[in-house]
Chain A
Amino acid sequence: MTGLKIHQDKCVGCGLCVKTCAADALAIQNKKAVVNEACILCGMCLDSCPFKAISIEKQAAPKEDLSAYHGIWIYAEQQQGKILQVAYELLGKGQELAKQKGCKLTALLFGNDVANEAQSLIVYGADEVLLCEHPLLDTQIDENYIDLFDQLIQERKPEILLFGATGFGRSIAPRIAARRQTGLTADCTILDIDSENGLLNQTRPAFGGNLMATIICPNHRPQMATVRPGIMQVQPCDEAHTGEIIRVDYADPDASKTASVELLEQVIAAHVNTIADADIIISAGKGIGSQKNMELVKRLAELMGGVVGVSRPLVDIGWSEYQNQVGQTGSTVSPKLLITFGISGAIQHLAGISGAKTIIAVNTDPEAPIFSVAHYKVVADCVEILKHMIANLEARPENGLLIEESKDKLS
């Protein structure tokens, strides 16, 4: 029987599951939880039950002998002949998983003239590289890759297959999963091998990052997952590590079939950044005291590789331009780091910065509303802090060039 099961012996009718259910499918009757037709089997109630009285029963058995599947594969995506950073990150995590499973780590390298890149995959952890070179693999057109993956998976039976969640990875991985009729979990932030059953535990944010979900693919192979660039760690290069490079053939497509997707042009665009894109924002409010002090703010931003933001009053009085304005009527920003100087934190301003990952607020008023959203609270004179931070950075040798440049500006 497939569906949600309430274990009568464990259920005490506490009703917590009823509150969790977004589909209104649960109710308490005669002191026990009962489920109705509205249940969409999302599984949220399972975790809410303190008595583990809810489970989802699934009727499934593996279609084939899963023990034939071994090895961890990672797709080493390359663009213009260069392997992407995310491939090395996957190798980093792959090494760990391979060790836990006691199996081989294989990297897939497909392209037109990429054989010389294979060695770098080995020193970064690959025990084996499957190398396929062909003109049709020169550009990223999905349909030129799918059959190749399909054929290799069928022949060599990897247990786990990982992709970087790049634009291309997110397009071909699902197609391959559907071709192989297996499971795929996107954008995993945590991957590990379950100590009890040896399955890959695939954990990812759900519901806009408010919840985490751990997913498994128990009865189908390969277990597939994608990982965003920058999530996993690259392991140190080991020049002594050896591995095998295996050339695989590319089956030429049926000549009578015309390509369904033709690449007319590949454009690599220069990205124009606005304050909304910035990773680092140094922002100022009226508390910096005078327009002259804006120069300090600009200098610090320059030294830190960030952009200048301002609260609305500074735009109103002409110390800065509207495009630098942060807040509800300006730009909404979500930088990795936001440092505010002399901003008290009017509600309209706070509304624009709620997405910032780390907020350091500097203000002389300990009661300033900005501190209610800041991660770090600094009650001090902003101009002094600015001056000290600038002096500190300018004293660093790597910033020597910037000092020379700024001296030219001042003279």
Chain B
Amino acid sequence: MKIAVCIKQVPSTNEVHMDPVTNTIIRDGKQSVTNPFDTYALEQAVQIKDHLGGEVIALSMGIPATERLLRDATSRGADRSLLLSDRSFAGADTLATSYTLSLGIRELGGVDLILCGKMAVDGDTAQIGPELAEQLGLPHVTDVLAIDAIDEQTVLCRKATDNGYQRLKVTLPALLTVVKDLNMPRMSSLPGILYSLDSPFESKTAADLSADPARIGLNGSPTQVVRTYVPQRIREAIVLEGDESQLAEDLLNIYSEVI
């Protein structure tokens, strides 16, 4: 079975705040990491491969430095990786990104199953999975919390709903997005890391993929951000005073306000 796992590089922390002196947005500047949800997708793909045989390919659209994360995926069971990297991919919203990723999947050819993390912790739109499936014309299921059985033609899975779950039978090829905790992502092993240093890796440009320039990057993005701002957040405890009976009432008023 040929399984593709979509991986996104995200900042390691969401600590973004305003510098009070310069009034600018400052990030913590730590190293980028693999989107945590994608690590569950990767683990699931590797478990399926271990069970059925085949190969797992890690795929990402990103900057050249993303190669590090793709190689890291091969230290945890992926066989090889493919990076889609080009200046013209920059500024992409979910539509342009899903289009670009679809080119990568087509480039791989013969993919039976695509696994994605439910959402990225920086954008957290959870849109890529369904949009990518649409770009490829494949069925999709979001919020998969368990895969009960899989063979070359079908997968039996459970999908989380707002108030329970559905048990579904999906015909392959298909795309699934997975939630956290459907498995325990493995750590890299020592031999895994040594393998990853030289594992097969390719980087492809827009031209390599014959990408339509009107559908990639900024030009291919129907949405754009017009403003970013910090929501006001100052915390200084409000002191409540009075006799005990008054205080009790004040507290109950707060209760009815916040609930």
Query: Is A–B contact present in the complex under a CB 8 A cutoff?
Result: yes
Point out the residues of chain B lying under 8 angstroms from A171, CB to CB.
Answer: 130, 140-143
Point out the residues of chain A lying under 8 angstroms from B238, CB to CB.
Answer: 375-377
Mark out the residues of chain A between 135 and 192 whose CB falls within 8 Å of any chain B CB in the assembled complex.
140, 142-143, 146, 166-168, 170-175, 177-179, 181-187
> What secondary structure prevails in chain A residues at the interface with B?
mixed
Mark out the residues of chain A between 294 and 330 whose CB falls within 8 Å of any chain B CB in the assembled complex.
304-305
Which of A110-118, A235-243, A383-391 contacts its partner?
A383-391
Mark out the residues of chain B between 160 and 175 whose CB falls within 8 Å of any chain A CB in the assembled complex.
160-171, 174
Which of B68-76, B107-115, B192-200, B220-228 contacts its partner?
B220-228
Interface size range on B against A: 35 or more
Q: Tell me if B210 is interfacial: C-beta within 8 Å of chain A.
A: no
Task: Report which of B19, B90, B169 forms a contact with A19, defined as CB distance below 8 A.
Answer: B19
Q: Tell me if B187 is interfacial: C-beta within 8 Å of chain A.
A: no
Q: Tell me if B52 is interfacial: C-beta within 8 Å of chain A.
A: no
Residues 13-39 of chain B: 1 if any A CB is under 8 Å from the residue's CB, otherwise 0?
A: 011110100111111010000000000
Q: Tell me if A119 is interfacial: C-beta within 8 Å of chain B.
A: no
Q: Are A211 and B240 in contact (CB under 8 A)?
A: no
Q: Are A216 and B224 in contact (CB under 8 A)?
A: yes
Q: Are A19 and B237 in contact (CB under 8 A)?
A: no
Please, how many residues of chain A have a CB less than 8 angstroms from a CB on the other chain?
Answer: 106
Q: Are A60 and B219 in contact (CB under 8 A)?
A: yes
Q: Tell me if A367 is interfacial: C-beta within 8 Å of chain B.
A: no
Point out the residues of chain B lying under 8 angstroms from A391, CB to CB.
Answer: 248
Q: Tell me if B190 is interfacial: C-beta within 8 Å of chain A.
A: no
Q: Are A167 and B16 in contact (CB under 8 A)?
A: no
With CB as the reference atom, state the residue of chain B lying closest to A304.
B255
Point out the residues of chain A lying under 8 angstroms from B207, CB to CB.
Answer: none
Q: Are B222 and A217 in contact (CB under 8 A)?
A: yes
- Besides A20-B24, A206-B122, 13 more A-B contacts (Cβ < 8 Å) are A2-B91, A2-B218, A20-B26, A40-B63, A167-B160, A178-B135, A215-B225, A261-B171, A269-B165, A280-B255, A280-B259, A373-B235, A379-B239
Chain A residues proximal to chain B, CB less than 8 Å: 2-3, 16-17, 19-20, 22-23, 37-44, 46-48, 50, 56, 58-60, 140, 142-143, 146, 166-168, 170-175, 177-179, 181-187, 201-202, 205-220, 258, 260-269, 271, 279-280, 304-305, 336-337, 339, 357-358, 360-361, 371-381, 384-385, 388-389, 391-393
Chain B residues proximal to chain A, CB less than 8 Å: 11, 14-17, 19, 22-27, 29, 63, 87-88, 90-91, 93-95, 98, 121-131, 133-135, 139-143, 156, 160-171, 174, 217-219, 221-231, 235, 237-240, 244-245, 247-249, 251-252, 254-255, 258-259
Give 9 nearest A-B pairs by CB, closest first. A41-B91, A208-B14, A183-B222, A388-B248, A260-B139, A183-B223, A178-B134, A220-B222, A174-B127
A-B residue pairs in contact (CB < 8 Å), sample of 26:
A47-B227, A48-B24, A146-B134, A173-B130, A174-B131, A174-B134, A175-B140, A184-B95, A184-B127, A185-B223, A208-B16, A210-B14, A216-B226, A217-B222, A217-B223, A219-B222, A261-B141, A264-B166, A266-B161, A267-B165, A279-B259, A376-B240, A380-B244, A385-B247, A388-B248, A389-B248
